[in-house]
Amino acid sequence: MKIRMSLSRRKTSLIICLGFSYLLSVAQQPSIERIEPPFWWIGMNESNLELLFYGKNLGDFKAYSSVPGLEIINTISIENPNYLFVYIKMDSNLKEGVYPLLLKGDKDKEISVLYRFDKREPGSASRKGFGWGDNIYLLMPDRFANGNPSNDDIDAMVEKADRNNPNGRHGGDLAGVAKYLDYLKELGMTAVWLNPIFENNQPHYSYHGYAITDLYNVDPRLGSNEEFVRVVKQAHQKGLKIIMDMVFNHLGDQHWMIRDLPSSSFIHRWPEYTPSNFRSTTIPDPYHSEYDYQKMINGWFDRHMPDLNQNDSLLADYLIQNSIWWIEYSGIDAIRMDTYQYADKDFMARWVNRIKGEYPDFSIVGELWVEQKALHAYWMEGNYRFGNYDSPLQFLTDFPLYIALRESFLDKEKGWEKGVERIYYCLAQDFVYDEPRNNMIFIDNHDLSRFYSIAGENLQKFTLGLVMLYTLRGIPQFTYGTEQLMTGLESDGHGLIRGDMMGGWPNDPVNAFEAKGRNKQQQKAWELISSLANWRKSSNVIHSGNTRHFLPENNVYSYFRYNENDTVWVILNYGDEEALVETGRFAEMLGQHRRGHEIVSNREISWGETLTLQPYQALIIELIP
């Protein structure tokens, strides 16, 4: 009997031939439904490859290869006979092409499989990720723009589009992202971080992408694998990098692998549903109890998000290879890893090192939702830490600075360690980092209250936050819709703070992607963000310069970014009254300078012994000799 099976969504095809010396009932017939990775590449640094075969009754099969340069290392059967894991070794002389693999079972059962090896794109291993000079734009594809309404509802996908439901799918897609790449470039962005684009065939909340049901396929309501590759290429042509959001801590409970679990060791099991305690302090804590530690790393993130056990070697290899497959296949420049500290830390270190082994200049940023600086710094490459753990993670999301920024606006009382002093005290602790500039800084993101709401919907306070975002040490991350002055608090629910971009849908009454569709305040915000982001792109002193700051006095905070050639003076009035600032205290940085080019207003400014600041005014001054 011959069975031809096409896996077109994986951009490959397999031919499977089954030979029997006796008649099997339909229920007993072995079959293959999936092979993952669906194909691979020659010329990779790592020569070993794990192949996952999934189908029916594969447990008693062994793999064989007659291809020179393609060696079977091991065949592993596990609890569930529907799975078979095969490890192969590729010789350095193996050429691109399609090669046969033979699976042999008992009683003369045979399955012949053709597996494809492609040639790597030139320069693939030497791709450059993001760095200090980048401006990152975070967008949620379902909420950004609907470029292809025909894929809003897919028969095979459970949840349908409903823009009236803040927690439902709204129809944004990759076509919408492609449509507005020029818009992002004009805004001053250099990199785009997409929330997860993988299939999320969950009955509810599938829009955000974090309950993945297929790690090798784009959600068809967003587009296809091929379409994502085109978006990456289009972005690169416009000078934009693409950051892919990944999740190794958990899957959606409707993932095909969870619905037919390979073995009991693939997920963390509890007698009853047990959520994580969400206390990542237990990981570096030298006094932690084993109970608290295990609940943190092995508890489930949510009821519909089973917690993965990365200590299972088969699963660990599967996850590592999946990320490498997407890098090589799609051409992405970086990965943002969700819930980084919730997964096994030794596995995460192994994963980072494996990626760096294949792509030395690739960028990985871990989501580290940790408020305390020392506990946060534990995860950064090159830092001192308790015990023997040596983190290789280069970039971290800077939640300690975010908390300081947020609370500085929410404090009703100003003064000692309140208001703007929170930022000063936070930055004063940067000694805990080997390289503080490797922090990704932000004023909001897809999980947090909208910054315009935090700023009290006050454009002057809003400007203070934007000035700090684009002048403090670190890599600025900007959230979609902030330029449209989107509002919403965490207490309102994630579905509301993740609103739709105005103008992203064909029948939207207002299109704020265009200047003519913005109101006066939105236009001011857009011009501010565009001017700051575009200025920052070419300001090396902001990218890599040193920082010197001065104690806040009377709600005024001042800091300098400087190198051997240039100095930028940033001065912020957090008060609701005019401030007369004596400039003499900044003499060590100002020297004889008495004038400069002010970026926010785009004009020359001068000062004498004093400088007057209006309420909530922010100045960025490039010193002029």
Which residues have a catalytic role annotated?
Answer: 338, 367
d(CA 275, CA 296): 8
**Distance separating alpha carbons of residues 130 and 395, to the nearest angstrom:** 10
Distance between CA 418 and CA 397 in Å, rounded?
23
For β-strands 618-623 and 567-573, DSSP reports them as antiparallel
Q: What DSSP string runs through 234-300?
A: HHHHTT-EEEEEE--SB--TTSHHHHT-S-GGGB---SS--B----GGGTT-TT--HHHHHHHHHSB
Ramachandran angles phi, psi of 203, nearest 5°: -70, -25
The owner of tokens 């001054």 is 621
Backbone dihedral angles phi then psi of residue 154, each to the nearest 5 degrees: -120, 130
Residue 37's Cβ-side half-sphere holds a number of Cα atoms within 13 Å equal to 24
3-state secondary structure at position 271: coil
| Nearest partner of 114 among 30, 17, 8, 19, judged by Cα | 17
Distance CA 604, CA 622 (A): 9
The answer to whether residues 247 and 210 touch, using CB atoms and an 8 Å cutoff, is yes
Contact criterion met (CB below 8 Å) for 6 and 13: yes
The CA distance from 620 to 74, in Å, is 62
CA distance 160 to 168: 8
Beta strands in 297-357 (DSSP E): 334-337
Amino acid at 589: M
Tokens of 411: 């404090």
Angle at 525 between CA 523 and CA 530, to 5 degrees: 95
Q: How far apart, in whole angstroms, are the C-alpha atoms of residue 178 and residue 188?
A: 16
Q: Which among 187, 240, 193 has a CA at the least distance from the CA of 532?
A: 187
Q: How far apart are alpha carbons 317 and 319 in whole angstroms?
A: 5
HSE-CB at 503 with a 13 A cutoff on CA atoms is 17
Find the DSSP H helices in 260-312: 290-298
- The rounded distance, in Å, linking the Cα atoms of 260 and 465 is 48
Q: How far is it, in rounded angstroms, from Cα 583 to Cα 585?
A: 6
Residues 6+ apart with CB under 8 A from 166: 493, 495, 496, 499
Amino acid (1-letter code) at residue 575: G
Alpha helices, H only, 387-516: 399-410, 421-427, 451-454, 459-469, 494-497
Residue 294 contacts by C-beta under 8 Å, 6 or more apart in sequence?
none
With beta carbons less than 8 A apart as the criterion, state whether 558 and 424 touch.
Answer: no
CA gap 247, 402 in Å, rounded: 22
